[in-house]
Amino acid sequence: MVFTRCAAADYDSFAKLGCDGWSWQDVLPYFLKMENNISPKFANSPLHKVGGPLTVSNHESCCTQAAKDFVQAGVELGYKEVDVMSGQIIGFGDFPCSVDRFGRRSSTARCYIHPAQTRRNLTVLCDSHVTKIDIKDKRVIGVRYLRNGKENYANVNKEAVVCGGAVNSPQILMLSGIGPKAHLGELGIACIADLPVGKNLQDHSAIQIKAKVRPGTDVLTLDKIAFQHNVIEATAFVQTGLETDIPWPDMQLHFTPVFEPFGVGVTSIHELNSPEMLPYLGYDITDEERMKIEGITIFPTLLHPRSVGEIRLRSSAPLDDPIIDYQYYSDPHDAKVMVEGIRLVKRVFETNSMAKYEARILDLKLPGSKHDAWSQENLEEFVRHFAWTLYHPIGTCKMGAANDQTAVLDPQLRVRGVKGLRVVDASIMPHLVSGNTNCPSIMIGERGADLIKRDHKNAKL
């Protein structure tokens, strides 16, 4: 639900890579088109709008003092307080989210699909699974799918639009003969278009830094959370200094005024839940005790990883899960950036603005480690052990210029070498954006719709 457009430099980079029409100035109208911003602080801002389908708020009515103190801690450290929707995002600020005035998630289903359900030209089929796109003479003619265990077929008269996300979209294309020829050949799939589908997989990874605080301060406990926002109340975007001349932040901090659960249950068989790891997760106590702990959790997040993975088919069977190979931290630079993020969290807790919380960060020294807890060696080891996904996969159907051999799509999101086929989702991004991918993905949908309408009007389908 967190809502940020990310950095203007992200989209200007898309344009410099040959994706005409995707610069910040090109995409800003689509960000404005979708938005119904109900936060009073942005009522007169030219960078915000009311009246769009998707409600955005800064949850002022329920934001804790701890989140405000976090932002002031950033100012104390020399950063600006920023509007994280402005495009110029380096600094600290409160974090908008797509929640309406009634505390309901303002989802794309609620805001786009539900109002259109009665249209005669829309049919929504649930419990359906696309198995293959039929292509004849390099043109899409139909889509095969399973519904309730039965095979179905949809004829395509103009074009098909794939919106399966960075995992399922490349899977559908490869099952249909669009992808790396050698890989498809290994699975007995005839190659129709030899394209780098599934390559360029990138994702944001994060690590939880938990701190217990002095009882009685303005934080939340797990048993008293009001779920009218997503608990991430503030954020920071910074440059760690490990790279020079970068136009965007390389580190993000997510601030939550609560002692967050790690994301894996105590009863899980996950190796992180082995007894010696429980103190790092805050699970070395009973569930009842943990629900009442007053604490703060800050998530350092790696924004622009150098490590790149890929999606491959496990088999030619469409119901088999694909192989998702992220290659997290295969480039040593990424762990170093994350360590700088952890060190920034420590500095935040040491500011005058946060002093009243008397934050005590959980031990970061791993069992058996011979290194000091705050040494580079120990923190890199800690990152490699505890980093986890933020579920922001992108890039596996990359768009690019005509001479870009790593691109699957042209800047109009059309699949190269196949007529009547587009991909419109986060998989089209050439590289990761500087922040959460929810809002940018909706923008891609808005722009993709305009591209389709324009080509339909010009009879280019």
Bridge partners of 155, per DSSP, are 142
Decide if 132 contacts 156 (C-beta within 8 A).
no
Taking residues 7-34, what's their average pLDDT?
98
pLDDT in tens, 250-286: 999 999 999 876 554 544 445 555 666 666 666 666 7
Q: Which strand (E) or helix (H) includes residue 141?
A: strand 139-147
pLDDT value of position 367: 76
Decide if 265 contacts 291 (C-beta within 8 A).
no
Of 48, 183, 392, 456, which residue is the catalytic one? 392
Cα 53-55-56 angle, rounded to 5 deg: 135
> 81 in the Ramachandran plot: left (φ > 0), alpha (ψ -120 to 50) or beta?
beta
> For the purposes of burial, counting CB atoms within 10 Å of the CB of 25, is it exposed (0-12), middle (13-18) or buried (19 or more)?
exposed
User: Which two tokens mark 255?
Assistant: 């601030």
Note if 385 is an active site residue.
Answer: no
- Average pLDDT over the chain reads 92
Decide if 364 contacts 342 (C-beta within 8 A).
yes
Helix axes 24-34, 438-457, angle to 10 degrees: 100
CA atoms within 13 A on the CB side of 232: 20
- State yes or no: pLDDT of 175 exceeds 90: yes
pLDDT band at 366 (very low <50, low <70, confident <90, very high): confident
How far from each other are the two terminal CA atoms of the chain, in whole angstroms? 35
Q: What are phi and psi of 389, to 5 degrees?
A: -75, 150
pLDDT in tens, 128-174: 999 999 999 999 999 999 999 899 999 999 999 999 999 999 999 99
User: Which two tokens mark 405?
Assistant: 């051999």
**CA 117 to CA 169: how far, in whole Å?**
24
Helices (H) and strands (E) in the chain, counts: 11, 19
Secondary structure (3-state) at 351: coil
Strand pairing of 205-206 and 295-302? antiparallel
Look up residue 444 and give its DSSP letter: H
pLDDT value of position 274: 60
Mention every residue, 6+ apart, whose C-beta is less than 8 A from residue 341.
Answer: 207, 240, 251, 253, 300, 301, 302
User: Which two tokens mark 63?
Assistant: 């934001």
pLDDT value of position 58: 85
Integer CA distances (angstroms), 343 to 159, 204, 209, 350, 374, in order: 50, 19, 10, 11, 8
- State yes or no: pLDDT of 100 exceeds 90: no
Q: Which of 58, 75, 82, 78 is nearest to 353 (CA)?
A: 75
Q: What is the dihedral of CA 241, 244, 246, 252, to 10 degrees?
A: -10
The arrangement of secondary structure in 61-90+205-304+329-386, i.e. its CATH architecture, is 2-Layer Sandwich (3.30)
Q: What is the CA radius of gyration of the chain?
A: 23
Q: Which of 214, 242, 244, 254 is nearest to 355 (CA)?
A: 214
- State yes or no: pLDDT of 32 exceeds 50: yes
pLDDT value of position 120: 94
Residue written as token pair 């993975």: 309
pLDDT value of position 460: 59
Helix axes 24-34, 8-16, angle to 10 degrees: 130
pLDDT value of position 269: 46
Look up residue 365 and give its DSSP letter: P
Decide if 457 contacts 155 (C-beta within 8 A).
no
Taking residues 61-89, what's their average pLDDT?
94
Integer CA distances (angstroms), 363 to 66, 109, 217, 277, 382, in order: 22, 42, 22, 11, 10
Domains of the chain, by residue range, sit at: 61-90+205-304+329-386
pLDDT value of position 201: 98
pLDDT in tens, 378-429: 999 999 988 989 999 999 999 999 999 999 999 999 999 999 999 999 999 9
Percent of the chain at pLDDT exceeding 70? 93
Minimum mean pLDDT among 86-95, 245-254, 275-284: which range? 275-284
Comparing 10 with 276, the larger pLDDT belongs to 10
pLDDT value of position 289: 78
pLDDT value of position 414: 98
Q: What is the dihedral of CA 240, 242, 247, 249, to 10 degrees?
A: -30
Taking residues 47-53, what's their average pLDDT?
95
Decide if 20 contacts 402 (C-beta within 8 A).
no
pLDDT band at 220 (very low <50, low <70, confident <90, very high): confident
Comparing 364 with 436, the larger pLDDT belongs to 436
Minimum mean pLDDT among 72-86, 204-218, 355-369: which range? 355-369
**CA 157 to CA 9: how far, in whole Å?**
38
Decide if 65 contacts 72 (C-beta within 8 A).
no
User: Which two tokens mark 111?
Assistant: 């805001």
pLDDT value of position 281: 64
**CA 451 to CA 427: how far, in whole Å?**
17
pTM: 0.94
> 6 in the Ramachandran plot: left (φ > 0), alpha (ψ -120 to 50) or beta?
left
pLDDT in tens, 199-212: 999 999 999 999 99
